[in-house]
Amino acid sequence: MVKAIKKVKKIVVGIISRIRKDRKEFLLMSSVVDFGKYTGFFYPPGGHIVDGKTEKSTLAKKFWEELGIKVKPLKRLATTPGDVKDQVTYWWECQSNLKGLTINKEKARKIIWMSKKEILEGEKIWPATKKFFKKFVIE
């Protein structure tokens, strides 16, 4: 009997930071999508990489569709397992002037700026996001 090979879902997210009142903050969003127990939880903007698309082009598309901003992906920071089975997440440092930042209510529920400490201590943060910030983000 031949076992079906499951295709791994590839997700890419962009880390955008700013300095506000002498502290570094990171842009997170929550989606309108029903994620079961994770519905309404916050994570860096991004999404699924579809066949034929690159991590960078997916980031540009998702930031534009969800938040109305242009981003420049600078470098991949990490690759980690996702919170969902058969998923891998690519974490990218991105740059944006945030000009035109507007939430597309069909895609995103809310955006928030949080410090690393707030992310690590927050209740409604995706587990993979907390793990990433704990292991890879230096303030």
The secondary structure of 75-130, three-state, reads: EEEEEEECCCCCEEEEEEEEECCCCCCCCCCCCEEEEEEECHHHHHHCCCECHHHH
**DSSP, res 34:** -
Q: What tens digit of pLDDT does each residue of 117-130 get?
A: 999 999 999 999 99
Domains and CATH numbers, the chain: 9-136 (3.90.79.10)
pLDDT above 70 for 17 = yes
Mean per-residue pLDDT, 15-35:
93
> Can you give the pTM of this predicted structure?
0.90
Q: What angle do CA 104, 120, 40 make, to 5 degrees?
A: 30
φ/ψ (deg, to 5) at 60: -60, -45
Closest among 125, 29, 34, 114 to 83, alpha carbons compared: 125
Helix, strand, coil: what percent of the chain each, to 5?
Answer: 25, 35, 40
Mean per-residue pLDDT, 85-106:
93
Going by pLDDT thresholds of 50, 70 and 90, the confidence category of residue 2 is low
Do residues 61 and 104 touch, judged by C-beta distance below 8 A?
no
